[in-house]
Structure 1
Amino acid sequence: MLSSALRSMRTRWVTFIGTFVALALGVGLIAMTGLALAATFDAPERRPERFAGTPVVVAPSDTLRVATPVGERTAVLTDPRPVPQGLVTGLSALGRTAEDRTFPVRLAGNDAVGHPWSVAAATPYRVTSGRAPHGPDEVVVTAGAGAGLRTGDRIRITTPGSAAGTGTRTVVGTVADAGFETAVFFDDAEAARIHPAVDAVGVHAEADAVRRLTRDFPGMSVLTGDDRRRADPDPDRDSEALTAVNALLGTAAGITGFVSVFVVASTFSFAVAQRRREFGLLRTAGATPGQVRRTVVVEALVIGVLASAAGCLLGEAAAPMLAGRLADEGLAPAWFAIGDATWPLHTAFWTGLGVALAGAAVSSHRAGRIRPVEALRDASVDTAGMTPSRLLLGAAVLLTGLGLLGWSLLTDPGDVLKRKTYILQPMWIVVGCALLAPLVVRPLTRLLTWLPARLPGATGLLARQNASTGIRRTAAVAAPVLINVALAGSLLGTVATIGEAKATEAAAVSGADFVAGGDGPLDPRFVERVRNVPGAVTSASRSTGVTVLEEGTALISSEARAADPAGLAATARLPLVSGRIEDLDDDSVVVNEEWEKRTVGQRVSVWLGDGRKVSLRIAAVMRTGTGSNGVYVTPANAAGAAVDRVDVKLLGGADLAAVRALLEEAGRDTGTTVMTREAWVTAHHPRTGANTRAGLLLILGIALLYTGISLANTLVMATSDRVRDLAVLRLTGATKPQVLRLVAVEALVVVAVGAVLGGAVAGLNLLGVKGALELLSVSSPVVVPWTALGAVLAACAVAAAVSAVLPALAALRTRPVEIAGSRE
């Protein structure tokens, strides 16, 4: 049986090479994404940075811990409490201390952080030139800060959120760059004036003594050893970055796995369909159905082993390039690299072999049922319908996809807008439509070619007849195009539509004419000046957070804004479903419909941004929308957060130009950017996030490249199998250019069929997103990614035409009489 299979593979090497390529590429994709995914499971160990030279650090805990019946639940606090002054005094009695005050600084147009000079030794920073600062107008900067700053330079420094505001200071020294921040060091007294709160204290004392003292101050953490890194800026950046990469690669693995399995199975099925004449001859020669089946399975086993091994090697070689691309695009940390895990290679190999054998098992069952006379009679014209098993499977998959979409729309429309849902759920519909494609290939082909078939010349008519009579061939070639168009349209269109909806919702919620801030604390002088602008009403708000325990086990944190109720009511149009903004006070909260408790007048226990637990009355309830409608409290419940946004609305009869001039003047004097509402929405609510779009394009690029290669591969297989048909055309008088033109037109017809089917699938998925937005009362148009779809179609058309014409050109080199007279 093995020798027979090997001889068959040598005879029909084009078919088997095509199957080998499809399987090897599929396994390579799985191995590549698997290796990259495995590299995201562990972040590198980082040593303490800011307090590397201090044995003990006392810092506020940024973690809220709540005991529940199912164990402790944690959440991140947005505004941890500063170190109490009493604790600072007590620590100074234990040993030498370094008080850290960290605040944002704008230096030469760049973002930096400010510190008191005394904490520089805790890193330690080393002076490379000059001296330490000794007065309010002197600073020390890290080497490389600003545009070539040197000792003696006078620079303009802005400290947003502080009373010190903007001023010109002298650089009296520089320190070596520590690599984790761009620092500006002030005199200790000046730093305390700018930022009175103490954010952390480095202590040169026994850790046990520090712990005993700290017990009387709840909410404080004593950090020693590697735990000191918790006091570093953004200590979880590595794990958070890897979590984002893990989610991206997990999605990529799911999509590429789906695409590769489907394409490989389709290629095996098409390869068996191409050999109907061969199997018919075997049956005529006396081969039993079991022998035919075993032949197909053995061939698949040989190809599966070889192709899976080649795919693993290919994936192992490509994985570092994928990791480098992720780092270059900013989707992964600069240090991200492939590790030494081997389980993705084993997974990819056995998955490839399993798919090959599974595809062969299904195809071999069909091959064994071929009757000799029927096979010989139908070998040239393939108008057979779908097998019952494929029909049932396709209907089941499609109905499952539609059912999941319908269930989400009925029970939780917001779930349709979540990334995992809108990326993975459409796959059911794509697979179902691809499986059922042969049902509509013939009528759709005849519809699309109705006009070309009536044009002068025989090319259009022959292309129509060839595409509509070779149903299996047309369906096999159209399937990759369907997947390409459906994936590009569904994923990119959904992300763009949701982004447009979020921007539309943000613009509708804001009733302001001008907005300032949104990127960090604002200068108090700017806030005060804006409040006194005649002809306008302002609302100064703060970013904070609120955490609630729902159902007794789920600790859920929500973004919140703290604002004065009167100013908020005047400048915002909150999408309320009950209650009034004016009823908001220090004892109440405005929530949205996602909350477990959402009845006006009900009291709910929450933890504020600094970890304080309070009971607040629900003053109003907003609709959920796209998920951007958070929570509103008053400044008294904002844990001392600084003002980071000011909304300004003109009063009736006010002079727009005059108000704008006053706002821009205040902005120039304090280094604050003032925008119109439309400009602010565009800047802070982009239609598509750069990282989101880059990630999707990377995922789609991998999947589309593979399906594009598979499209070319299938066309090469299909065209090589039609050598006799092309020879007959030549014998009837067709010239070589006419034959090549016919082959190209037929390939483009099939691409058009796949494009229409893929467009229908993408349209169905986008209508589901539109329906979810309507149910959430968000009025926003569907965004169709025409540019991306055009690029995908152009690539498919070029790949199809070239892949069909080249093998046909090679076949036409042989004399038609020799081909027509040859035996298979």
Structure 2
Amino acid sequence: MLSIALRTMRTRWVSFVGSFVALALGVALLAVTGLALASSLDAPERVPERFAAAPVVVRGQDTLRVPTPVGERTEELARPRAVPGAVVARLERLGTVVVDRSFPVRVHGRDVHGQGDHGRDVHGRSVPGDLVGHPWSTAAFAPYRIDAGRAPRAADEVVVTGGWAAPGDRVRTDRGTLRVVGTVRGLGFEDAVFFTDARAARLDPVSVQLTVDAEASDVRDAVRDAVRGSAGVRVLTGDDRRYADADPDRDREALTALNALFGTAGGVTAFVSVFVVASTFAFAVAQRRREFGLLRTAGATPGQLRRTVLAEALGVGVLASAAGCVLGAYGAPHLAARVVDDGLAPAWFSIGDQTWPYHVAFWTGLAVALCGAFAASWRAGRTGPVEALREASVDAGTMTRGRWLCGAGLLLTALVTLGVSLAGDPGDLLHRKTYVSRPMLLITAVALLAPVVVRPLTRSLTRLPARLPSATGMLVRENAAAGVRRTAAVAAPVLVTVALTGSLLGATATLNEAKATETRERTVAAFVITAPGDGGTGLDGTGVGHTGLDRTGLDSTGLDRRTLDRLRAIPGTEISPSSSSAVYVLEDDVALIRSDARAVADPEALTATTRLPLAAGRATDLDDHSIIVNEEWEEHTVGRNVRVWLGDGTEKTLRIAAVMHTGTGGNGVYVTPANAPRAPVDRVDVALTDGADADAVADRLREAVGPAGGQVSTGDEWIAAARPQTSGTTRLGFLLVLGIALLYTAISLVNTMLMATSDRARDLAVLRLAGATKGQVLRLVGAESLTVVAVGALLGLVVTGLNLAGMSAALGLLSVPVAPVLPWAAVGTTAGACAVLTVAASVAPAALTLRRRPVEPATIRE
């Protein structure tokens, strides 16, 4: 039987080309993702940047450490503490102490249409999008060296990095109009603006770290011998000085995102590979039932036929897997370079010399080939000798008992798990891992049950065309309905692509719409004022807000008391100032959970400007001894006490004053300023009293916040700015996943249509002998192809609808009722691409077949 398998592969090579290419590309992608994952497991140790030349850096407590029965749990503090005064006094006896400060600076007049992180100033020069302010005394620790001009001496004088400004220039910023008196060469990790030490201290009064010119051992002794308030103070030397840089964990976070990206792509690659190869082998076996019937007549046993099919799959699998590994070795470096260029990976990221990803990809590819052919081999083994005598082309017995069991079992599993999630944890359906994996279960179930609905669905789609005077509509209906296996085999890849496109893009669009709805429903303020450095919204998409950090990882400066007094003095308004912070809680005695917090001084004003999604309690009951939590908290009963840690690590016990609905998962908590230490006011919500003139109030608000650099937005502008957008990493990941699906669809469609059209040579010849012209036959073939694509697209829409309906139901249970958002444009584009491919792959070989005399294929006997 092995020799028969080899001869079959040689004579029916067209039938195996599609499987070979699909499997080779799948193995290549598995090798690429495996190599990328292997290369991202071990990041190189970062070296200090801003403090590369500093002798010793002393940093205040920046980590919360909570002992639990299973070990210590840690979280980064939202508000790191300053180095205690007693420690500073002890350190000043050892050597020179330089206080470090960092704060955001933004240039006015930047072109909002600028490319990337840069824009244009009024002179047309490129200006960095995010500048970082420092005191000049810290420049020597990078080290920065003056290359033009001099050091700053007056309050309005600065030194800048890069070539976007020159000595003598005046620059309008949110810190006032600054005069550039010097420039230094940029070092690549920041775009810095250096002020005098005195001006920097006024702009950023609280410092959490400093440098000491002394021996490290002496510094450690001084810190250890200081008062008890020095607990948590860190002495950083050598490579540990990198922890004093901005966002020292950015490489780790970037690699985590890469792991998720490549992991998702690898999972989808494996799924689609199995799906395409299985459907291709199943269709190939169905086409060869007469051939298998002849072998059975000649004495071949069912086991021998199964081994023949598996031997064919083994041959294709070995060759395709080896070719895929070669392609993967070539493509992995290009992928690494692309993710670095797109900013999704650190500049140092490259493919290593690991070999295990090749082994995983090769053996996975071989297993995929064998698993895909396994079901088909059983169908081949059941072929009876009488099949060699069959002339009818109508498919019968397409739904076997095993197919019924698997299809119904998978569908039932999908529905039961959906019900369990809705009843127990609706929020789980909003997680990316869930809405990426669930469609695969439904796709497989619908594909297995597709033959049940193919015939009635085809007849429904072609009912109207079949009633037309031309016979084309009737022939399309009968041919598509009769060839159930062919229709299901062609519809399967269309189903995969449409379902993945609709489910993945629809899930993110539905979530974004739900978050936008939350923001819209809770924002009742007429105006929203944001502080300089707050990035424009201060929102994480739900209205609670982030912890005051902008894109540079720096704390917003906040609005000072004088600005707030000017705002309160504006007639016709009610203002609600608030600050961003965080609160930590220990759940189940093992998990330290961080929640974003917003601190409001006046709960009455809060209710006038914000509509909280309360499930229990009243917002007006909030005071310095209480907290408003959400239903995600383990303890969320009004009146109960909870032990929490504040943003600076202070432990407190607070009473629950009210409970908010869970929503999309970002509702956070509310506290008073007493429980948000050192959190500056970064946002002011403004409500209008009856009869107030909105335009006049807007002018007064801008006048009041102008000196502080604040930004005034209307409520509608605020909501629009806060509307969540899919992140670049997520968008690229979905494009990669959908690209894989579309590529496989193209391969599978072309291969299947070539197989199907070549198998219908006699049918086409009979049509020609019956009087049909070549044009009529080609139009018939094209119409049949479009009908099959429509069947696959409709099945894909069914899967998409089920997935998005489950997510919509979960959002409704979480008190965010929103209709599913179906990406019609993307789904239509995908279905259109499938239609073009299918028509081209069917009409082209049909046209070649029609070049022969009709009598030749019509007289062929098998």
Q: TM-score range by the shorter chain?
A: over 0.9
Match of 1:253 in 2: 266
Partner of 2:117: none
Tell me the residue number matched to 1:459. Answer: 472
Counterpart for residue 594 of structure 2? 557
Deviations, residues 672-695 of structure 1 (Å, cap 9, x unaligned): 322122221221232544543343
Aligned-partner residue type, residue 570 of structure 2: V
Aligned to 2:143: 124
Q: Is the 8 A contact 1:289 1:368 kept in 2?
A: yes
How far off its partner does 1:249 sit? 1.9
Map Cα deviations across residues 93-114 of structure 1 (whole Å, 9 max, x no partner): 2123322111222235443111
- Where 2:180 maps in the other structure, the secondary structure is strand
From 136, 140, 144, give the equivalent of 2:155.
136
User: Is 2:528 aligned against 1:509?
Assistant: no
Question: Whole-Å Cα distance in 1 between the matches of residues 85 and 604 of structure 2?
Answer: 35
Equivalent residues of 2:274, 2:369 under 8 A apart: no
Query: Does residue 26 of structure 1 match 2:42?
Result: no
Counterpart mapping for 1:398-797 below 5 A: 398-517=411-530, 518-519=534-535, 520-524=556-560, 526-564=563-601, 565-686=603-724, 688-797=726-835
Aligned to 1:197: 206
What residue number does 1:94 align with?
94
Amino acid at match of 2:165: L
Deviations 1:708-728 (A, max 9, x none): 322222212221222222222
Per the alignment, residue 126 of structure 2 pairs with none
Is 2:158 aligned against 1:149?
Answer: no
Partners of 2:275 and 2:372 within 8 A in 1: no
1:212-223 paired onto structure 2 within 5 Å: 212-215=221-224, 216=226, 217-223=230-236
Secondary structure, counterpart of 2:497 in structure 1: helix
- Conserved? CA contact 1:84–1:198, under 8 Å: no
Distance (Å, rounded) in 2 between the aligned partners of 1:297 and 1:570: 72
Q: Of 379, 382, 388, which aligns to 2:395?
A: 382
How far apart, in 2, do the equivalents of 1:538 and 1:446 lie?
A: 65
- CA gap 1:521/1:404 in 2 versus in 1, 3 angstroms: farther
Amino acid at match of 1:817: V
From 282, 285, 289, the equivalent of 1:272 is 285
Amino acid at match of 1:358: C
* Coordinate RMSD, CA, aligned: 1.8
How many angstroms does 1:282 deviate by?
1.2
Match runs of 1:230-249 below 5 Å: 230-249=243-262
Tell me the percent identity: 63
What is the aligned residue count? 814
SS in 1 for 2:254: helix
**Which whole-Å CA distance do the structure 2 matches of 1:77 and 1:660 have between them?**
36
CA shift, 1:305, in A, is 0.4
SS state at 1:107 partner = coil
Alignment partner, residue 813 of structure 1: 851
Q: How does 1:36-51 map to 2 (within 5 A)?
A: 36-51=36-51
For residue 198 of structure 1, give the secondary structure of its aligned residue in structure 2: coil
Quote how far apart the aligned CAs of 1:4 are.
2.1
How far residue 238 of structure 1 moved from its aligned partner, in angstroms, is 0.6
**What's the offset of the Cα at 1:271?**
1.4
| Farther off after superposition, 324-333 or 729-738 | 324-333
How far apart are residue 567 of structure 1 and its match?
Answer: 2.3
Number of the residue aligned with 2:842: 804
Q: 1:731: Cα distance to partner?
A: 2.0
| 1:152-163 pair list within 5 angstroms | 152-159=168-175
Gaps of 5+ in 2: 111-128, 536-555
Deviations 1:539-587 (A, max 9, x none): 1111111000011111110111111123222211111122211111111
Partner Cα separation in structure 1 for residue 727 and residue 204 of structure 2: 33
Which SS does the other structure have where 1:219 is aligned? Answer: coil
SS of the residue corresponding to residue 338 of structure 1 reads coil
The equivalent of 2:79 in structure 1 is 79
Secondary structure of the corresponding residue to residue 363 of structure 1: helix
Counterparts of 2:47 and 2:391, CA distance in 1: 72
CA distance in 1, matches of 2:705, 2:777: 71
Q: Which amino acid aligns with 1:95?
A: G
User: Residues of 1 paired with 2:60 and 2:738: CA distance?
Assistant: 43
Shift of 1:379: 5.8
**Alignment gaps of 5+ in structure 1:** 160-166
653-662 or 401-410, which deviates more: 653-662
Q: CA deviation at 1:280?
A: 0.9
Deviation, structure 1 residue 378 = 5.7
The one-letter code matched in structure 2 to 1:71 is G
Contact 2:559 2:680 in 1 (8 A): no
Distance, in Å, in 2 between the alignment partners of 1:410 and 1:11 is 56
Q: Which residue of 1 aligns with 2:542?
A: none
**1:334: Cα distance to partner?**
4.3
Q: CA deviation at 1:664?
A: 3.0
Q: What SS does the corresponding residue of 1:555 show, helix, strand or coil?
A: strand
- AA of the residue aligned to 1:591: V
> What TM-score, normalized to structure 2?
0.92
Distance 1:306 1:46 in 2: 42
Which residue is 2:545 aligned to? none
Q: For residues 10 and 86 of structure 1, what CA distance do their matches in structure 2 show?
A: 85
In the TM superposition, what is the alpha-carbon distance from 1:65 to its structure 2 partner? 1.4
Counterpart position of 2:549 = none
TM-score between the two structures when normalised by the length of structure 1 = 0.96
Tell me what 2:106 maps to: 106
CA offsets 1:201-225 (integer angstroms, 9 cap, x no match): 1222221211122223112111111
Q: Within the alignment, does 1:65 sit opposite 2:61 as a pair?
A: no
Q: 2:187 aligns with which of 178, 195, 201?
A: 178
Partner residue of 1:226? 239
Q: Which moved more, 1:592-601 or 1:23-32?
A: 23-32
Question: What amino acid sits opposite 1:135 in the alignment?
Answer: A
The 8 Å contact of residues 558 and 630 in structure 1, kept in 2 or not, is answered as yes
CA drift at 1:504? 0.6
Name the amino acid aligned to 1:90.
R
The AA in structure 2 aligned to 1:744 is G
8 Å contact kept, 2:786–2:839: yes
Q: In 1, distance between residues paired with 2:737 and 2:665?
A: 25
Instruction: Evaluate the alpha carbon distance shift between residue 690 and residue 677 of structure 1 in structure 2; reply closer, same or farther with a 3 A threshold.
Output: farther
Deviates more, 1:219-228 or 1:32-41: 32-41
Alpha-carbon shift at residue 42 of structure 1 (Å): 2.4
Q: Is the 8 A contact 1:304 1:352 kept in 2?
A: yes
Distance 1:556 1:495 in 2: 25
Q: 2:215 corresponds to which residue?
A: 206
Report the CA distance shift for 1:721/1:337 in structure 2 as closer, same or farther (over 3 A): farther
Whole-Å separation in 1 of the counterparts to 2:139 and 2:354? 41
For 1:347-400, what per-residue CA distance to the aligned partner results, in whole angstroms no more than 9, with x for missing partners? 121111112122323222221111111353266322333111111111111111
Residue equivalent to 1:162:
none
Distance 1:816 1:61, change over 3 A: farther
Deviation at 1:628, TM superposition (A): 2.0
**How many angstroms apart in 1 are the aligned matches of 2:308 and 2:790?**
36
Cα deviation, residue 64, structure 1: 1.3
Check the 8 A contact 2:438/2:803 in 1, yes or no: no
Aligned to 1:13: 13
- Cα separation, partners in 2 of 1:235 and 1:619, compared to 1, 3 Å: same
Match of 1:300 among 305, 313, 321: 313
After the TM superposition, which of the residue ranges 811-820 and 406-415 deviates more from structure 2?
811-820
Q: Residue deviations 1:76-100, cap 9 Å, x none?
A: 2111011223322322221233221
**What corresponds to 1:164 in structure 2?**
none
Conservation of the 8 A alpha-carbon contact between 1:736 and 1:812: yes
Q: CA deviation at 1:814?
A: 2.3
Would the alpha carbon gap of residues 21 and 694 (structure 1) be closer, same or farther in structure 2, given more than 3 Å must change? Answer: closer
